[in-house]
Amino acid sequence: MSNDDLAKLLGDVQALAALDGDDKINLIRKLETSVASERRLRKTADLKWKQAEKDLDNATRKIEFYEETTVPGKKLSVPKAKSRRPKKGKATALFCLCDWHSEETVDPDTVKGMNAYDLDICKKRLEKLWDKCGFLVEDARSISDVRDAVVWLGGDHITGYIHDELVEGNSLSPTEASLFFQAQAETGISRILSIDGIDRVTVLTSNGNHGRTTSRPRISTGWKNSYEWMAYNNIERVFRDDPRVQFQIARGYHNWLDIQGHACRFHHGDHMKYGGGVGGLTIPVNKKISQWDKATPARYDFFGHFHQFIWNWKWVSCGCLIGYNAYALSIGADPQPPTQTFCVIDKDRGLVKAMPIFVE
């Protein structure tokens, strides 16, 4: 309180003795309000004073610590804060390439304009596919350490002459189509090998039901009568001297590979029969896999043949490059755009990603 305020207060106290009645009561209330206000100000000043003493004490201790621990001429090192970002786990990129039907022709008029396909369109779709492979691997590396890749050549890369109408409609004969497919696959494997940071590529194969030399499918000797099996071996010879590439060419229906500690079973898919039920593929696929698991359990199954992309927690049905055609229309199959399939298998968490690669 200033001297002027104190003098005014004393004057009010002296004036109080000369007053009576309401004037005296009003002056008393005024004096009480002034006293209460002064008490609040004093309390606030005391709190500020105590905080200032604490701040001064903390600053003094910091100065003393700095003087005791700092070597003359050397700055005091401050530990860096640890990053909260989790460490990246190891994972493998998986490219599922199947059902190209390279030489087959799809006339737009036969599918209500929903699709068209010939050799040039096949090449363009494959070029878009190879362009996307590097981006997909880099995207997976945002959460995982991806240093190796698996390329699954899943069959039906050629259509062949298994039906009479295919003799009329295909752009190439089965032998010509095999050479065409072989050249495109070699380009794709080379492009995947060129992805920065990929140290190893494993190529798995499965024979499709279309690329056969016989009119009816063979079971135990199917590989002996497969144009695709021949093409797979020719492709393997091209990369035989590259230590980064390993081939696993199947003779039986199943082709197994351990990926990051998870047992994976690859097959074309034609040994699973879809009867057109309302449950779609899920019921017949789950039943067949359950029977196979009784002999040798698999963590995951990968297959094509049905020209549909579906990701189940235990299996992946992969899309096709050819897209919707007259046969799919005739059986009432779900129309899907032309795709191939990209997956990521993590060492600790298993199959963490399965997605279609759109090629148009």
Mean pLDDT of 269-289: 87
158 lies in the same domain as 61:
no
351 lies in the same domain as 315:
yes
Q: With a cut of 70, say whether residue 8 has pLDDT above it.
A: no
**Which of 19-23, 296-300, 336-340 shows the lowest mean pLDDT across its residues?**
19-23
Evaluate whether residue 77 is within a structural domain: no
Q: What are the pLDDT digits (tens) for 304-336?
A: 999 999 999 999 999 999 999 988 887 677 889
Evaluate whether residue 82 is within a structural domain: no
Label residue 179 exposed, middle or buried (CB < 10 Å: 0-12, 13-18, 19+).
middle
pTM, rounded to two decimals: 0.76
- pLDDT given for residue 329 in this prediction: 83
Rg of the chain over CA atoms, in angstroms? 39
Evaluate whether residue 135 is within a structural domain: yes
149 lies in the same domain as 294:
yes
- pLDDT given for residue 39 in this prediction: 81
Q: What are the pLDDT digits (tens) for 43-83?
A: 888 888 888 888 888 888 777 766 666 655 555 454 554 54
Q: What is the CATH number of the domain that holds 246?
A: 3.60.21.10
> Within 10 Å of residue 182's Cβ, how many Cβ atoms?
22
Contact yes or no for 211/158 (Cβ under 8 A): yes
Q: What are the pLDDT digits (tens) for 203-253?
A: 999 999 999 999 999 999 999 999 999 999 999 999 999 999 999 999 999
Q: Indicate the DSSP class of residue 18.
A: T
Mean pLDDT of 294-313: 96
155 lies in the same domain as 202:
yes
Tokens 């590979």 sit on residue: 257
Evaluate whether residue 80 is within a structural domain: no
Tokens coding 173 = 């004969």
- pLDDT given for residue 5 in this prediction: 62
Mean pLDDT of 72-98: 70
Count of structural domains within the chain: 2
Q: With a cut of 60, say whether residue 84 has pLDDT above it.
A: no
Q: What are the pLDDT digits (tens) for 118-172?
A: 999 999 999 999 999 999 999 999 999 999 999 999 999 999 999 999 999 999 9
50 lies in the same domain as 105:
no
28 lies in the same domain as 166:
no
12 lies in the same domain as 161:
no
197 lies in the same domain as 62:
no
Instruction: Determine the structural domain holding residue 51 and report its residue range.
Output: 3-69
109 lies in the same domain as 33:
no
- pLDDT given for residue 78 in this prediction: 47
Evaluate whether residue 220 is within a structural domain: yes
148 lies in the same domain as 226:
yes
Q: How far is CA 264 from CA 195, 204, 314, 334, in A?
A: 24, 11, 10, 27
